[in-house]
């Protein structure tokens, strides 16, 4: 194998597998709210503290079962 191909295969072996939807936390994030809040504060959303960001994270409601 050539150098680039062996490096490619090595990087594939080190790449983690996909994250399944069932493994994600059951929360929703109000991105519009975070952006507006950051704009009011005159900062980027990434510069907000974890406590400030947590105000916009809510537990996801389970969808109603169709009868």
Q: What is the pLDDT of residue 60?
A: 82
CA distance 37 to 45: 8
Q: Are 1 and 8 in contact (CB under 8 A)?
A: no
Whole-number pLDDT of residue 33:
97
pLDDT at 1: 57
The whole-angstrom distance between residue 39's C-alpha and the CA centroid of its chain comes to 21
Mean pLDDT in runs of 10 for the chain (67 residues)?
85 90 89 97 96 94 61
49 vs 41: CA distance, rounded Å: 12
Predicted pLDDT at 66: 55
Beta strand ranges found along 1-67 (DSSP E): 27-29, 57-59
What is the model's pTM? 0.58
Domain ranges across the chain: 17-59
The token duo for 22 is: 């069932």
């Amino acid at each position: 194998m050539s150098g680039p191909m062996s490096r490619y295969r090595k990087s594939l072996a080190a790449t983690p597998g996909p994250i399944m939807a069932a493994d994600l936390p059951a929360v929703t994030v109000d991105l519009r709210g975070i952006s507006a809040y950051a704009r009011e504060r005159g900062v980027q959303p990434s510069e907000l503290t974890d406590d400030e960001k947590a105000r916009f994270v809510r537990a996801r409601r389970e969808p109603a079962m169709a009868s």
